[in-house]
Protein backbone atom coordinates (compact mmCIF):
# COMPACT_ATOMS: atom_id res chain seq x y z
CA UNK A 1 0.00 0.00 0.00
CA UNK A 2 1.37 3.41 -0.95
CA UNK A 3 1.93 6.19 1.58
CA UNK A 4 0.45 9.70 1.27
CA UNK A 5 3.08 10.58 -1.35
CA UNK A 6 2.36 7.55 -3.56
CA UNK A 7 5.50 5.63 -2.58
CA UNK A 8 5.51 1.92 -1.97
CA UNK A 9 6.48 0.82 1.54
CA UNK A 10 10.16 0.43 2.38
CA UNK A 11 11.80 -2.44 4.17
CA UNK A 12 11.45 -6.21 3.91
CA UNK A 13 8.01 -6.16 2.23
CA UNK A 14 9.31 -3.92 -0.53
CA UNK A 15 12.35 -6.16 -1.02
CA UNK A 16 10.07 -9.19 -1.20
CA UNK A 17 7.84 -7.52 -3.81
CA UNK A 18 10.88 -6.48 -5.86
CA UNK A 19 12.15 -10.06 -5.72
CA UNK A 20 8.82 -11.41 -6.94
CA UNK A 21 8.78 -8.92 -9.83
CA UNK A 22 12.35 -9.88 -10.76
CA UNK A 23 11.48 -13.58 -10.79
CA UNK A 24 8.48 -12.81 -13.01
CA UNK A 25 10.81 -11.01 -15.41
CA UNK A 26 13.26 -13.91 -15.50
CA UNK A 27 10.40 -16.36 -16.08
CA UNK A 28 9.00 -14.23 -18.92
CA UNK A 29 12.44 -14.00 -20.53
CA UNK A 30 12.91 -17.76 -20.25
CA UNK A 31 9.46 -18.51 -21.71
CA UNK A 32 9.46 -15.96 -24.54
CA UNK A 33 13.08 -15.26 -25.51
CA UNK A 34 15.05 -18.01 -27.25
CA UNK A 35 18.24 -15.93 -27.16
CA UNK A 36 17.97 -15.65 -23.39
CA UNK A 37 17.48 -19.42 -23.06
CA UNK A 38 20.55 -20.06 -25.23
CA UNK A 39 22.65 -17.63 -23.20
CA UNK A 40 21.51 -19.22 -19.92
CA UNK A 41 22.45 -22.66 -21.27
CA UNK A 42 25.88 -21.35 -22.26
CA UNK A 43 26.25 -19.81 -18.81
CA UNK A 44 25.38 -23.11 -17.13
CA UNK A 45 28.12 -24.84 -19.15
CA UNK A 46 30.75 -22.10 -19.03
CA UNK A 47 30.43 -20.92 -15.40
CA UNK A 48 31.79 -24.17 -13.93
CA UNK A 49 34.49 -24.16 -16.61
CA UNK A 50 35.39 -20.61 -15.60
CA UNK A 51 35.62 -21.62 -11.94
CA UNK A 52 37.89 -24.51 -12.91
CA UNK A 53 40.12 -22.46 -15.24
CA UNK A 54 40.46 -19.39 -13.04
CA UNK A 55 43.77 -19.26 -11.18
CA UNK A 56 42.68 -16.44 -8.88
CA UNK A 57 39.33 -15.29 -7.50
CA UNK A 58 39.60 -12.13 -9.60
CA UNK A 59 39.94 -14.18 -12.78
CA UNK A 60 36.89 -16.21 -11.79
CA UNK A 61 34.86 -13.07 -11.15
CA UNK A 62 35.91 -11.60 -14.50
CA UNK A 63 35.09 -14.79 -16.43
CA UNK A 64 31.70 -15.32 -14.78
CA UNK A 65 30.87 -11.61 -14.51
CA UNK A 66 31.35 -11.06 -18.22
CA UNK A 67 28.75 -13.75 -18.90
CA UNK A 68 26.33 -12.31 -16.32
CA UNK A 69 26.64 -8.98 -18.11
CA UNK A 70 25.45 -10.65 -21.33
CA UNK A 71 22.37 -11.99 -19.53
CA UNK A 72 21.63 -8.55 -18.06
CA UNK A 73 21.89 -6.75 -21.38
CA UNK A 74 19.80 -9.46 -23.08
CA UNK A 75 17.06 -8.83 -20.50
CA UNK A 76 17.19 -5.10 -21.26
CA UNK A 77 17.11 -5.77 -25.00
CA UNK A 78 14.10 -8.04 -24.54
CA UNK A 79 12.37 -5.31 -22.52
CA UNK A 80 12.94 -2.80 -25.34
CA UNK A 81 11.57 -5.26 -27.88
CA UNK A 82 8.51 -5.97 -25.70
CA UNK A 83 7.71 -2.28 -25.36
CA UNK A 84 8.03 -1.78 -29.12
CA UNK A 85 5.81 -4.81 -29.78
CA UNK A 86 3.22 -3.34 -27.40
CA UNK A 87 2.67 -0.47 -29.81
CA UNK A 88 2.14 -2.64 -32.88
CA UNK A 89 3.85 -4.64 -35.58
CA UNK A 90 3.93 -1.94 -38.25
CA UNK A 91 7.42 -0.86 -39.23
CA UNK A 92 8.67 2.45 -37.93
CA UNK A 93 12.25 3.55 -38.47
CA UNK A 94 12.65 4.66 -34.83
CA UNK A 95 11.37 1.32 -33.53
CA UNK A 96 13.74 -0.46 -35.89
CA UNK A 97 16.60 1.72 -34.71
CA UNK A 98 15.82 1.00 -31.05
CA UNK A 99 15.70 -2.74 -31.68
CA UNK A 100 18.95 -2.62 -33.66
CA UNK A 101 20.65 -0.67 -30.87
CA UNK A 102 19.47 -3.19 -28.28
CA UNK A 103 20.85 -5.98 -30.42
CA UNK A 104 24.12 -4.08 -30.81
CA UNK A 105 24.38 -3.73 -27.03
CA UNK A 106 24.12 -7.51 -26.68
CA UNK A 107 26.77 -7.91 -29.39
CA UNK A 108 29.14 -5.51 -27.60
CA UNK A 109 28.93 -7.40 -24.30
CA UNK A 110 29.42 -10.69 -26.16
CA UNK A 111 32.62 -9.23 -27.62
CA UNK A 112 33.55 -8.30 -24.05
CA UNK A 113 33.18 -11.98 -23.08
CA UNK A 114 35.58 -12.93 -25.87
CA UNK A 115 38.01 -10.21 -24.80
CA UNK A 116 37.95 -11.20 -21.13
CA UNK A 117 38.17 -14.95 -21.74
CA UNK A 118 40.83 -14.48 -24.40
CA UNK A 119 42.97 -12.14 -22.32
CA UNK A 120 42.89 -14.52 -19.36
CA UNK A 121 43.19 -17.87 -21.14
CA UNK A 122 45.23 -17.23 -24.32
CA UNK A 123 48.47 -16.28 -22.52
CA UNK A 124 48.42 -19.70 -20.86
CA UNK A 125 48.42 -21.39 -24.26
CA UNK A 126 51.30 -19.38 -25.76
What's the average model confidence in pLDDT over 49-57?
Answer: 96
Q: pLDDT exceeding 70 applies to what percent of the chain?
A: 93
Selecting among 4, 39, 59, 74, the annotated active-site residue is 74
pLDDT tens-digit profile of 67-115?
A: 999 999 999 999 999 999 988 888 889 999 999 999 999 999 999 999 9
Q: State pLDDT tens for residues 1-13.
A: 455 555 666 788 8
Residue ranges per domain, the chain? Answer: 34-125
Q: Is 55 a catalytic residue?
A: no
CATH match of 34-125 with 3.40.50.300:
no
Alpha carbon 99 to chain centroid, angstroms? 16
Distances (CA, A) of 123 to 6, 100, 113, 117: 55, 34, 16, 10
> Residues annotated in the binding site, as ranges?
14, 33, 74, 81, 90-92, 99-100, 103
Reported as half-sphere exposure (CB side, CA atoms, 13 A), residue 26 has a value of 10
Q: How far is CA 15 from CA 2, 8, 12, 20, 35, in A?
A: 15, 11, 5, 9, 29
Q: For residue 52, is pLDDT > 90?
A: yes
* Mean pLDDT on 51-78: 97
* The model scores a pTM over 0.95: no
Cα–Cα distances in angstroms (integers) from residue 67 to residues 6, 19, 103, in the given order:
37, 22, 16
For residue 66, give the nearest of 102, 114, 100, 33 by alpha carbon. 114
Binding residues for ATP are 14, 33, 81, 90-92, 99-100
Amino acid sequence: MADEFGHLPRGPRRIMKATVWSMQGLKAAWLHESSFRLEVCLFVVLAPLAAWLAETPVEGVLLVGSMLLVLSVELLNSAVEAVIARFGDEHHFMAGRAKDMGSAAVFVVMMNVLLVWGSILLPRLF
